[in-house]
């Protein structure tokens, strides 16, 4: 499903409402809510809203478990850290127990080894070992999502739930949930806005099927429960 909003502010508000709804539903049914956050700049507005007084009281944060969809392999105090940004944007302001928050980075360990450790963490906390209640995703202007970048071997990963690899064009390691794991989520929400995304969004949604070039095409949850929250500008080339 694609939902097009007039602007980024309305998009963020609707996404915050959806987040709250999914959190309440999961807590009512299973007494916990497991969410994977996205990095990059797209979620900042959403995160700030969730920590604002209008939203904060609507969730029992003590039952929330926070993971990430992907991470740049840098310490949390590095400005490139997805986890570091999320702490600043909202996690520091919410009463989530520290041992419910699982950044995809740890010191004194190699990224590949931590990917294995992260799989074990997921197995301990997710229902049936791999079902997230909600996964938030952004999309790059090249059509990547999480750290599933065009032309990378990780796109073919079928066994691992979490993979780490050296991303040569960025000269850094990336760690990411793999597409098969992401696709098991109960609900996937993409957040996409701005004119830099217009072309890639068109290719991903309506272009030829080519997930090597447009990895976001790999994201098709088994539940069928995916929603693209997009603004009018990003949706500019879509036929809807």
Ligand X SMILES: O=C(O)[C@H](O)[C@@H](O)[C@H](O)[C@H](O)COP(=O)(O)O
User: Residues interacting with ligand X, by CB under 6 A?
Assistant: 38-42, 69-70, 72, 82, 138-140, 144-146
CB-CB contact of 230 with 11 (8 Å)? yes
* Pick 85 or 96: Cβ nearer ligand X: 85
Among left, alpha and beta (phi > 0; psi -120 to 50; other), residue 13 is: alpha
* Pick 145 or 217: Cβ nearer ligand X: 145
* Pick 27 or 190: Cβ nearer ligand X: 190
Residues 6+ apart with CB under 8 A from 169: 149
Strands (E), the chain: 2-5, 33-37, 64-68, 70-72, 134-138, 162-167, 172-177, 188-192, 226-231
Strands (E), 130-213: 134-138, 162-167, 172-177, 188-192
Closest contact distance (angstroms) between CB of 205 and ligand X is 16
Q: Please, which contacts does 119-123 make with residues 24 or more away whose CB atoms are closer than 8 Å?
A: 119/160, 119/161, 119/162, 121/67, 122/67, 122/161, 122/162, 122/181
Closest contact distance (angstroms) between CB of 38 and ligand X is 5
Closest contact distance (angstroms) between CB of 60 and ligand X is 27
CB-CB contact of 143 with 66 (8 Å)? no
* Pick 145 or 211: Cβ nearer ligand X: 145
CB-CB contact of 144 with 150 (8 Å)? yes
* Pick 32 or 72: Cβ nearer ligand X: 72
* Pick 15 or 82: Cβ nearer ligand X: 82
Task: Name the phi and psi angles at 199, rounded to 5.
Answer: -65, -50
Closest contact distance (angstroms) between CB of 41 and ligand X is 4
* Pick 144 or 187: Cβ nearer ligand X: 144
Structure tokens at 84: 């570091």
């Amino acid at each position: 499903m694609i939902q097009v909003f007039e602007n980024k502010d309305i998009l963020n508000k609707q996404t915050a409402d959806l987040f709250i709804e999914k959190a309440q539903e999961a807590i009512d049914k299973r007494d916990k809510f497991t969410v994977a956050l996205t990095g990059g700049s797209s979620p900042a507005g959403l995160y700030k809203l969730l920590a604002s007084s209008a939203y904060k009281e609507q969730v029992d944060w003590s039952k929330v478990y926070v993971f990430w969809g992907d991470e740049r392999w840098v310490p949390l105090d590095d400005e490139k850290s997805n986890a570091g940004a999320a702490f600043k944007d909202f996690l520091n302001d919410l009463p989530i127990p520290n041992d419910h928050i699982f950044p995809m980075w740890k010191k004194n360990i190699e990224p590949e080894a931590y990917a294995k450790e992260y799989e074990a963490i997921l197995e301990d906390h997710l229902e049936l070992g791999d079902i997230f209640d909600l996964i938030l995703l952004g999309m790059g202007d090249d059509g990547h999502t999480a750290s599933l970048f065009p032309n990378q071997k990780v796109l073919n990963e079928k066994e691992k739930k979490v993979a780490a690899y050296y991303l040569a064009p960025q000269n850094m390691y990336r760690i990411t949930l793999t597409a098969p794991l992401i696709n098991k989520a109960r609900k996937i929400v993409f957040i996409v806005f701005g004119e830099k995304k217009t072309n890639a969004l068109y290719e991903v949604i309506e272009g030829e099927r080519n997930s090597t070039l447009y990895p976001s095409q790999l994201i098709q949850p088994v539940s069928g429960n995916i929603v693209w929250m997009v603004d009018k500008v990003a949706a500019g080339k879509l036929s809807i």
